Amino acid sequence: MRTLASAIFHVIFIVSMVVGCKTDKTADTTENSEGAQWWKEEIIYQLYPRSFQDSDGDGVGDLKGIISRLDYLQSLGITAVWLNPIYSSPNDDNGYDVSDYRNIMKDFGTMDDFDQLLKGLHDRNIKLIMDLVVNHSSDEHEWFKQSRSSRENPYRNYYHWWNAERGKPPYRYSLFDVNHDAWMYDSLTNAYYLHYFSRKQPDLNWENPKLREEVYDIMKFWAEKGIDGFRLDAFQFAAKDTSYPAFPEGYEKNFTKYYAMQGNLHGYLKEMNEKVFSKYKVLSVAEGAGNSFEDAHQLVDADRKELHMAYAFEGVDIAKPEGYSLLVFKEVFSRWDSAFAEKGWLSIFLGNHDQARMVSRFGNDDPAYRSASTSMLNTFIMTMRGTPYIYNGDELGMTNAGFTSIHEFRDVQTLNEYKRLQLTKGDLAAYLKKIQASSRDNGRTPFQWDNSKNAGFTTGTPWIKVNENHVDINVALQEKDPNSCLNYFKKLVQLRKDHIASLVYGKYTLLDKNNPDIYAYTRESDREKLLIVLNFSKETKSLNPGFGLQKAQILLSNLSTNPVITNETIQLAPYQAVIYKL
Ligand code: GLC
């Protein structure tokens, strides 16, 4: 028996050595003590359903529309789709106000469409991650209708109420309210309810065990359908101190310090893990990672049995309408990498549905540089340690919307702030300038499929204006062009899949830290070392990585001409990105 076992062991060992010598596709060692995991190796494509593809001409994207584009998703090579909310909703906040968690929004289709979509994705080996919005519901959810109907109603404690005879509740800042006031008075029961977001998004009371059980049941309903993960919307704010202590004056300038990771949040996540995550093969990620590395680690370190990966905002928050410093960018991403090198896991992203477009914020959306800078930024996302998230349209270099009038904007946050400034006689012109650069609507314009009137998105009137530059930036054009950023993106995806040990798990080392224009780093596994050089500037710049490059082989480059190397110095064209194997 012993000889047989040891013979089998030797065969397995030899086979794995041979495979290991040939490829870097599998991770045999990782710096991270938590080891290799399927969800670390995913390449996630965030799909905003309202703006992706309309199938019935009502001007709103829908599930049948996505189904008709499944082959496109497959052609990208991505391994998972994160779908923004598709549940029944009156759409005060584009589906982030759910009125029925077990049903599909009418605009988007039916449960049959959903089942078909899930099957279509799975047939193509693409996983589906659903957005779960349970810090709050819609005020049109049956729970809230019951809750507000009387103080004695069994659903009263599903939400946060403050009876008016106690006086005005301590101030709570609301991110979306016209008055920034998170307490809304409801005369029906002479009480205020809490809403950190809009008035139509009352916060759920996580301190109530009944509510928690309802949410776990909803999660099981979707997990049983076979979905592959949950993205927990605004969940860092879910737990509250229900004695509602007063917060210091001006706290709203730094409100996450007071709202995030409060009370028994970790207790609820552990419970959710035990009751749901541990029972299914599902990826879990929450939006936001608190206020420190410690907060983020407490969410995701494996031994805590809470979530899989942190989705932290410090990186995307660097870019301001007036620009940003690459030195700060490098410092932030390097600091986060080193804090998570051994334990915990991060999400890597530069755009999502709450941000202006990646190329307009971090790259250069001037037509002369748009394609190169988009590809350069995607190279960054796809070569960092952590799970990459690509926001739909960023594979094409879609840019900010170019809206000039407030009437073109649709986002509740953007519009309510405008109303607030009207009421308080604020500077509307300055505000318009600000939202042109930073409104969330910049990232929500219809997906650009072709150069037809509505970019192939709809035959009707789109719910939000199509970007005029769809005639130049669209899938049809880029599919045909071997040098397009779309085709480059596909190569990047393949490269990441072919170099899992180094690009997913390998050690990250920052080079030439003080170079203000070039971001250079190595990623290395036991078997190989890759050098990534990214010129973030619109001028030719050079870099000395500090070691010889005689044997360096180019694995991928975003421009048709390769950089010139003299002695040990690499000269990079504007926005050039190159991945070398050393
Ligand atoms: C999250 C979502 C955002 C939404 C908000 C309220 O931040 O990403 O789109 O408006 O939560 O649900």
Helices (H), 244-340: 256-259, 265-275, 293-300, 314-317, 326-339
Distance CA 217, CA 219 (A): 5
> Which residue among 287, 306, 411, 441 is the active-site one?
287
Helices (H), 131-255: 142-149, 209-225
* 297-350 pLDDT, tens digit each: 999 999 999 999 999 999 999 999 889 999 999 999 999 999 999 999 999 999
- Residue 127, beta-bridge partner list: 80
Q: 220: burial class by Cβ within 10 Å (0-12, 13-18, 19+)?
A: middle
Share of residues in the chain with pLDDT > 70 (%): 96
Nearest to 45 by CA among 382, 373, 337, 345: 382
Confidence of residue 548 (pLDDT cuts 50, 70, 90): confident
313: its two tokens:
């905002």
Q: Say how many Å lie between the CA of residue 491 and the centre of ligand 1.
A: 32
pTM, rounded to two decimals: 0.95
What pLDDT shows up at residue 14? Answer: 42
Residue 501 is given by DSSP the state: I
Average pLDDT on 290-296 reads 96
Distance CA 141, CA 139 (A): 6
Radius of gyration of the chain (CA): 25
DSSP strands (E only) in 53-190: 80-83, 87-88, 100-104, 127-132, 161-163, 183-186
Distance CA 307, CA 235 (A): 11
Q: Which residues line ligand 1 (CB under 6 A)?
A: 93, 96, 133, 197, 233-234, 287, 353-354
Q: Say how many Å lie between the CA of residue 78 and the centre of ligand 1.
A: 24
* 360-381 pLDDT, tens digit each: 999 999 999 999 999 999 999 9
Ligand 1, atom 9: closest residue by C-alpha? 354
* 15-38 pLDDT, tens digit each: 444 343 445 777 656 788 889 999
Annotation marks residue 294 as catalytic: no
Average pLDDT on 477-497 reads 98
Where on the phi/psi map is residue 515: left (φ > 0), alpha (ψ -120 to 50), or beta?
Answer: beta
What phi and psi values does residue 223 have, to the nearest 5 degrees?
-65, -40
Question: Helix or strand or coil: residue 114?
Answer: helix
Q: Say how many Å lie between the CA of residue 95 and the centre of ligand 1.
A: 9
Q: How many helices (H) and strands (E) does the chain have?
A: 17, 21
Distance CA 246, CA 381 (A): 41
- Residue 159, beta-bridge partner list: 204
Ligand 1, atom 7: closest residue by C-alpha? 234
Annotation marks residue 139 as catalytic: no
Nearest to 402 by CA among 349, 365, 427: 365
